[in-house]
Amino acid sequence: MFFKGRDKNQNGQQAGRRQGRDPVSLISADLLVTGNLVSPGDLQVDGTVEGDIHCQSLTIGLTATVTGNITAADVLIRGTHNGSIEARSVTLSKSARVIGDITHETIAIEAGAVLEGHLTGRNRALGAAMEAFPGSTAAAPGALTSGMNA
């Protein structure tokens, strides 16, 4: 009763939930995933992933370690990543540790971030390729998928 205004918005939806979008898939801090991850939606990794990741939006949390290549529209890295990144937009926070090449349309690197690799800026051609991904249902062999029935 006292928290009514905080718990739900005017449409009766839970606060913090993005309207019209699926919830973010989460790899928790105590989880180790070995294998490729493919999701048409958003993914947050707080644990360890050893494999490639293909998704719409990826957040690598402060406690996360990802070893593998990333393909996504938007990437935010707060933790550690070893591998290449292809994304429309890439943000490396001050706690990010990245070893690998980054291909991007836009990039933001906060003071304190560590990057060992090459940056390659691309124009809208990469963006068009990223736009085609969310509708794709093709998963790599042995890949884990999110939002799909097994």
pLDDT digits (tens, 9 = 90+) for 85-108: 999 999 999 999 999 999 999 999
Residue 98: C-alpha distances to residues 12, 62, 78, 123 (Å): 41, 12, 10, 22
What pLDDT, on the 0 to 100 scale, is given for residue 47? 97
Residue 86 lies in a domain: yes
Residue 4 lies in a domain: no
**How many structural domains are present in the chain?**
1
What pLDDT, on the 0 to 100 scale, is given for residue 125? 55
More confident residue, 23 or 67: 67
Residue 110 lies in a domain: yes
Closest CA to 72 of 97, 96, 38: 38
Q: How far is CA 46 from the centre of its chain?
A: 11
The average confidence (pLDDT) of the chain is 80
What pLDDT, on the 0 to 100 scale, is given for residue 123? 75
Residue 1 lies in a domain: no
Residue 34 lies in a domain: yes
3-state class of 131 per DSSP? helix
> What is the C-alpha separation between 84 and 70, in angstroms, rounded?
6
pLDDT (mean) for 70-99: 98
Residue 148 lies in a domain: no
Phi, psi torsion values for 4, nearest 5 degrees: -50, -45
Residue 53 lies in a domain: yes
DSSP one-letter string for 83-120: S-EEEEEEEE-TT-EEES-EEEEEEEE-TT-EEES-EE
Residue 130 lies in a domain: no
pTM: 0.71
Looking at residue 61, the DSSP 8-state letter turns out to be -
Residue 139: C-alpha distances to residues 35, 66, 116 (Å): 12, 19, 29
Print the domain residue range for 67: 23-125
3-state class of 49 per DSSP? strand
